[in-house]
Structure 1
Amino acid sequence: MRTHQPALFAEDFVFLEAPHWRDSRLWVSDVFDHTVYTLDSTGSRKKVCSVPHRPSGLGFLPDGTPIVVSSKDRRLMKIVGDSIVEYADLSGFASGDVNDFAVDSQGRIYVGNFGYDYDAGELRAATALHRVDPDGTISIAATELDFPNGSVIIDHGRTLIVAETWVGRLTAFDIDEQGMLSNRRVFADLGERQPDGICADADGAIWVGCFNTGEFVRVLDGGAITDVIQLEGHAISCTLGGEDGCRLFCTSYRGTLDELVARKRNSVIHVVEVDVPASPASGG
């Protein structure tokens, strides 16, 4: 098992989710600062837009249009310049705050939600993964998921991987030509590690931010862990990018949960040079 020494890339954020590399820039959602940013290769940031109801998952349609989750009001928003426009209203479908998503090559979006009111302290409940089609149709793609979180599509569009945070596993589905999911199976059992955001590399391995342990791990189908990055605090999410696709950008919260509740600006981005580049189908 390999270990890596991360380098600090940028700091002074509140809580960074859903990093994605696109057009030589790193895109991130600062959930509790209600802002989407881009950063250049030196770590210099630029505000893209505000998302009043908490930005979370980020991704891009096949034509390059950026989509961001508006979590608390359970919508997907299209980013147009420095503004947001509703793309899909999931408030009548999702049973909790909308979270992360993955986009396939046809523009279908597979999006998860908490499943219950986490902020109000409700009891955990299983929930559905929804699919938003390019024509606006919203349907249930899968059921009985336990806090579906980070998502990524691998195998040239044939497999969807979803992190189920509270049960410590990555779950895989086959995707058919119509976008239907089947053959649900465990991609990796992470034990006590709680997976948050994920990304894929060109070999089909998944990099996972493990929130409770502060680790980013690279895991293979079946659960073998090949690489570990240990950070201070709580690991959140990651993406592969850079000019060669071999820079792993890792977002974390370098503080306590009480400090997060107080909105202390302890969220940071680290970067690690890795050997295997981003998967072309991973959205990174």
Structure 2
Amino acid sequence: MTSQSSTLLCEGFAFPEGLRWHDEQLWISDQTTGTVWTMTEDGAAEPLVNVPGGASGLGWLADADLLVVSMADRRLLRVHAGTGEVAVHADLGNLPGYRLNDMVVATDGQAYVGDFGFDPRALVARFGSSALDGDQVPAAFLARVDPDGSVHLAADGLRFPNGCAITADGRTLIVAETFGRQLTAFDRSETGALSARRPWVTLDARPDGICLDAEGAIWVANAGAAECLRVSAPRAGRSAAVIDRVVTGAPAYSCALGGSDGHTLFLATAQNSPDARTPGRIEIARVDVPAAIST
């Protein structure tokens, strides 16, 4: 396994999350302040929109409208390209859960949105911090939101579904189960339905945000340590395994591959939890394999 250290690109966020490289910019959700930011490759950041419910997952529709997860009110917002007008794209309040989390949007406009499933603070207060790695963690769902805003239950029984990624051919969805300590894969049909649930890899980590590279490997931000791990894709006769590591300056919560050549790994880090309001940072590392390109 190779290892390198990241370098600081920008700081001053509260709790950066939901990193995406899109339209030659890095997009960032600051969960604590609810602000969605755009950032140039050299670290110049500008606020775009504020989400009072707390901003998380980001993605785009075919018409370039931005989708943003509003966590506390359990809605998916749509920011219209050009005008900046914000509207409710979908309301997920009828699904059982606690607070919405990360999201991935497929090239066909279908969005997959995870939910905490429980209040982590309440669970820790009742059972102690070890409960987050035990059987007390309640199951949560992954929802599918179609381009027309209709909401469907895509999968359930997940342990804190977090970062998601869709393979370049659009046929496989991978979700990080933070408190399940694993990546889980599903086959994705032409209608967006998920099936054939299976483990992708089990990790000695708390996987948070993830992103795919051009070799089908997955970079995994480890919310339980100051690192981001690269996990190879499982092949016939070979299991997925950690093959590269980037050491960060603080626990890593999200990652994205991008930059002008696709070889920059952007990392969202913070010293503690969103409630601690400690300064968050965007760190970077140069990697050998560039970002995956969707087909």
Q: Compute the TM-score of the two structures, normalised by the length of structure 2.
A: 0.90
| Contact 1:188-1:220 at 8 Å conserved across structures | no
Task: Give 1:244's aligned residue.
Answer: 261
| Contact 1:54-1:71 at 8 Å conserved across structures | yes
| Contact 1:172-1:186 at 8 Å conserved across structures | yes
Query: Which residue identity is paired with 1:109?
Result: A
Task: Give 2:137's aligned residue.
Answer: 124
Query: Which residue identity is paired with 1:104?
Result: A
Matches within 5 A, 1:183-194: 183-191=196-204, 193-194=205-206
Shift of 1:103: 1.4
| Contact 1:128-1:143 at 8 Å conserved across structures | yes
State, as a whole percentage, how many aligned pairs show the same letter. Answer: 42
| Contact 1:67-1:79 at 8 Å conserved across structures | yes
Shift of 1:155: 4.1
Shift of 1:5: 2.5
Shift of 1:105: 2.3
Task: Give 1:143's aligned residue.
Answer: 156
Correspondence for 1:262 among 271, 276, 292: 276
Q: Compute the TM-score of the two structures, normalised by the length of structure 1.
A: 0.93
- Aligned partners of 2:22, 2:293: CA distance in 1, in Å? 12
- Aligned partners of 1:95, 1:218: CA distance in 2, in Å? 30
| Contact 2:32-2:275 at 8 Å conserved across structures | no
Stretches of structure 2 lacking an aligned partner (at least 5 in a row): 127-135, 234-238
The structure-2 alpha-carbon separation of the partners of 1:232 and 1:41, relative to structure 1 and needing over 3 Å to count, comes to closer
Are 1:66 and 2:83 counterparts? no
Query: Which residue identity is paired with 1:174?
Result: D
Residues 171-219 of structure 1: CA deviation (Å, up to 9, x unaligned): 000001111111111111103x000000000111000000111110000
Q: How many residues align?
A: 277
- Aligned partners of 1:256, 1:20: CA distance in 2, in Å? 22
Query: Which residue identity is paired with 2:171?
Result: R
| RMSD (Å), alpha carbons | 1.6
Correspondence for 2:228 among 210, 216, 236: 216
Task: Give 2:104's aligned residue.
Answer: 102
- Aligned partners of 1:136, 1:256: CA distance in 2, in Å? 34
Task: Give 1:36's aligned residue.
Answer: 36
Shift of 1:119: 4.3
- Aligned partners of 1:261, 1:135: CA distance in 2, in Å? 34
Query: Which residue identity is paired with 1:32?
Result: T
| Contact 2:253-2:268 at 8 Å conserved across structures | yes
- Aligned partners of 1:109, 1:62: CA distance in 2, in Å? 12
- Aligned partners of 1:94, 1:76: CA distance in 2, in Å? 16
Residues 60-83 of structure 1: CA deviation (Å, up to 9, x unaligned): 123322111000000000113444
- Aligned partners of 2:146, 2:33: CA distance in 1, in Å? 29
- Aligned partners of 1:133, 1:3: CA distance in 2, in Å? 40
| Contact 1:209-1:237 at 8 Å conserved across structures | yes
Query: Which residue identity is paired with 1:213?
Result: A
- Partner-residue secondary structure (3-state), 1:157: coil
Are 1:204 and 2:216 counterparts? yes
- Partner-residue secondary structure (3-state), 2:119: coil
- Partner-residue secondary structure (3-state), 2:169: helix
| Contact 2:168-2:293 at 8 Å conserved across structures | no
